[in-house]
Amino acid sequence: MNKNTIGIDAGGSLIKIAFEETSRIHFKKYPIEDMESALNWLKMLAASNKIVLTGGKAGRIKADFFPEAEIVNEFTAACEGAKYLMEQENMSLQEKVLLVNIGTGTSWFVMEGSHYERVLGSGIGGGTFMGLGTLLGNSRDFSELVELASRGTRGNVDLLVKDIYHPEEPPIQGDLTASNFAKASKSKENSAADQMASVINMISETITLLSVQTAALHSTKKVVYIGGTLSGNKALQSYLELYAKMSGLETVFLRDGEYSGALGAKMY
């Protein structure tokens, strides 16, 4: 890995940077709204460094800040960065895995050895969380919305299986969702925290359902999760682990996985 290369992943919500200093790789991230100040700082810091860009805003950054920069495909960058992080965690790259990148939206990749292929994409992801958070939680701050959701009870918003069968014993686990947000049409006895807890659960269920189907189609049971939406989001991780376990999948959450794209760009 070239220590003089700085990788920048400029997505729809965040700018993530990977750089090397004192023989260690460091990471930084900024909201996309702070792009100009962040990159002006980086421009002064990295005058003699090679810049490699990836992500949807890469072309704009190249034009406005780093005209000599190279651009690498965001899917390539994410997979190469994830492979590096997997090696750092002593995972075998020869085992076929499903890599799930939960960013603004979500992408699924099948990885085995040096081969990887994007096989599915969905508009459900961090952008969904932030958009519904703005509408329901009255905030545009990711950390605030994650904390709000952690205090909520989704059963006050979601119709659960046990709600339908009460007082009888349900034939499947009672805490499973029968219908997302269905109670909201019948009762106002819920809070913004409850609503955000329901949002996180809905995102988790959708991603798991698609992961289960994709993993079965490609004959693997191991799912590796990366992406900025998981950062500090214990509720999302917990739901993904719970639903994956119920579905017979093994889950891995890569440390620093949110920086896979920036890291992959740095390695280019």
Q: What is the pLDDT of residues 124-173, one digit of tens each?
A: 999 999 999 999 999 999 999 999 999 999 999 999 999 999 989 899 88
In the predicted model, residues of the chain with pLDDT beneath 70 are 1-2
Calpha distance 223→24 (Å, rounded): 28
What pLDDT score does 1 carry? Answer: 67
**What global pTM score does this model have?**
0.93
89 is catalytic: no
DSSP string, 64-93: HT-TT-EE--HHHHHHHHHHHHHHHTT--T
Helix ranges (H only) for the chain are 35-45, 58-64, 74-88, 126-136, 142-150, 161-165, 192-217, 234-246, 260-266
Q: Which of 20, 70, 74, 205 is catalytic?
A: 74
Domains in the chain with CATH codes: 122-257 (3.30.420.40)
Closest CA to 182 of 202, 206, 204, 211: 202
